[in-house]
């Protein structure tokens, strides 16, 4: 009876998710096209299988893609980063910068380390990252690890270090590049939602991915969009929770970026935004999926080594077991 109830609930959740899928059109701010038909039976049961697998932790381990063990140096680096990313039980400005660096290295080209290796950190769009770039540069010199890998490992570590943060699977073995990626691609805090949806779609991200990634602002601070306004984007900037969504929606955040407000109000992203305000578990799951995708932009996955075990906590299974059972369904 219990398993049957789970299957029925999963089926309902799958149908609801399908009913809310969108087709992005040229007029993204005003048009939403609903799908013309529902999932086929095979897709429904495939989705249920994935959901039940999530309940049981199937596929959530740290088996390396190449069959190799994670090099011990990453555990040593992890210990160093913990000292920098956590203070008085809260994540630090260094952790915030590390999370931001993942996006800034990957989104304008590929996750190739050019943020540091090509001195993209000196660009105005990367203001506030210079100290982190210098620090990670020193770590790379002392350990010999790849810079592209180090940036993504540091971001995943910072997310996990923030109290309440989920585990982002992290792999190493990317190719580094000292060729600068194009400037001017990273969106500003004043961007409109329609432009953001189009931009992220061009990189392979759905509106749900966009809304989920935006939640990283729960631990973020703004310093340049409105220098005369509060830096915090929610009232609990030192912890990883979903108050960013509810406070942005209600107008109770210390400060809200115009771009965040636009996403919260756009019909295409409003549903996931509101869902994440109600359920941290739903947000965590969507965020892990989107952030994993972000960390692999322009990366050949063949031969990469899984180093998730080197992060604090070390396994996504623990996240799944500790979450509310009704939060474990895919959005």
Strands 86-87 and 171-172 turn out to be unpaired
Query: What b-and-e string marks burial along 202-240, b requiring 16 or more CB atoms within 10 Å of the CB?
Result: ebebbbbbbbbbbbbbbbbbbeeeeeeeeebbbebbbbb
260 known member of a binding site:
no
Task: Decide: residue 137, CB within 10 A, 0-12 exposed, 13-18 middle, 19+ buried.
Answer: middle
- For the chain, counts of helices (H) and of strands (E): 14, 4
Is residue 104 part of the annotated active site? The answer reads yes
88 known member of a binding site:
no
Cβ-proximal residues to 329 (8 Å cutoff; 6+ apart), any chain: 9, 10, 13, 51, 54, 282
* CA distance linking residue 315 with residue 62, whole number of Å: 7
Question: Phi and psi at residue 171, in whole multiples of 5°?
Answer: -120, 155
Short-list 291, 270, 285, 124, CA closest to 197:
270
Residue 23 pairs in a beta bridge with 33
* CA distance linking residue 238 with residue 206, whole number of Å: 28
236 known member of a binding site:
yes
Cβ-proximal residues to 2 (8 Å cutoff; 6+ apart), any chain: none
217 known member of a binding site:
yes
Query: Catalytic pick from 104, 171, 285, 328?
Result: 104
Short-list 237, 211, 214, 232, CA closest to 222:
232
* CA distance linking residue 248 with residue 2, whole number of Å: 38
Collapse the DSSP code of 143 into the 3-class scheme (helix H, G, I; strand E, B; otherwise coil) and give the result.
Answer: helix
143 known member of a binding site:
no
Gyration radius from the chain CA atoms: 20
Annotated binding site for Ca(2+): 105, 112, 114, 218, 234, 236, 241
Annotated binding site for heme b: 217
Annotated binding site: 105, 112, 114, 217-218, 234, 236, 241
Give catalytic residues, as residue numbers: 104
């Amino acid at each position: 009876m219990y398993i049957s109830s789970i299957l029925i609930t999963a089926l309902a959740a799958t149908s609801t998710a399908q009913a809310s899928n969108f087709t992005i059109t040229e007029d993204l701010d005003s048009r939403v096209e609903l799908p013309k038909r529902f999932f086929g039976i095979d897709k429904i049961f495939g989705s249920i299988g994935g959901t039940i697998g999530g309940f049981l932790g199937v596929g959530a381990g740290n088996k390396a893609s190449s069959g190799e063990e994670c090099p011990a140096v990453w555990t040593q680096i992890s210990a160093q980063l913990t000292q920098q990313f956590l203070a008085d039980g809260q994540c630090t400005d260094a952790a915030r910068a590390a999370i931001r660096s993942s996006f800034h290295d990957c989104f304008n080209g590929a996750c190739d380390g050019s943020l540091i290796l090509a001195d993209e950190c000196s660009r105005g769009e990367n203001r506030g990252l210079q100290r982190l770039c210098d620090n990670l540069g020193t770590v790379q010199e002392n350990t010999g690890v790849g810079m592209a890998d180090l940036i993504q490992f540091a971001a995943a570590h910072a997310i996990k270090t923030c109290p309440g943060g989920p585990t982002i699977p992290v792999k190493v073995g990317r190719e580094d590049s000292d060729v600068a990626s194009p400037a001017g691609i990273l969106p500003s805090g004043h961007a409109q939602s329609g432009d953001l949806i189009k931009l992220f779609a061009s990189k392979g991200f759905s509106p749900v991915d966009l809304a989920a990634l935006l939640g990283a602002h729960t631990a973020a601070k703004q310093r340049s969009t409105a220098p005369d306004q509060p830096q915090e984007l929610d009232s609990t900037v030192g912890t990883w929770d979903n108050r960013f969504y509810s406070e942005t929606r209600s107008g109770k955040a210390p400060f809200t970026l115009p771009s965040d407000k636009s996403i919260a109000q756009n019909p295409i992203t409003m549903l996931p935004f509101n869902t994440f305000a109600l359920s941290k578990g739903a947000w965590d799951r969507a965020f892990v999926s989107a952030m994993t995708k972000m960390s692999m932009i322009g990366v050949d996955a063949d031969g990469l080594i899984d180093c998730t075990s080197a992060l604090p906590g070390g396994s996504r299974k623990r996240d799944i077991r500790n979450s509310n059972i009704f939060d474990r369904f895919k959005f």
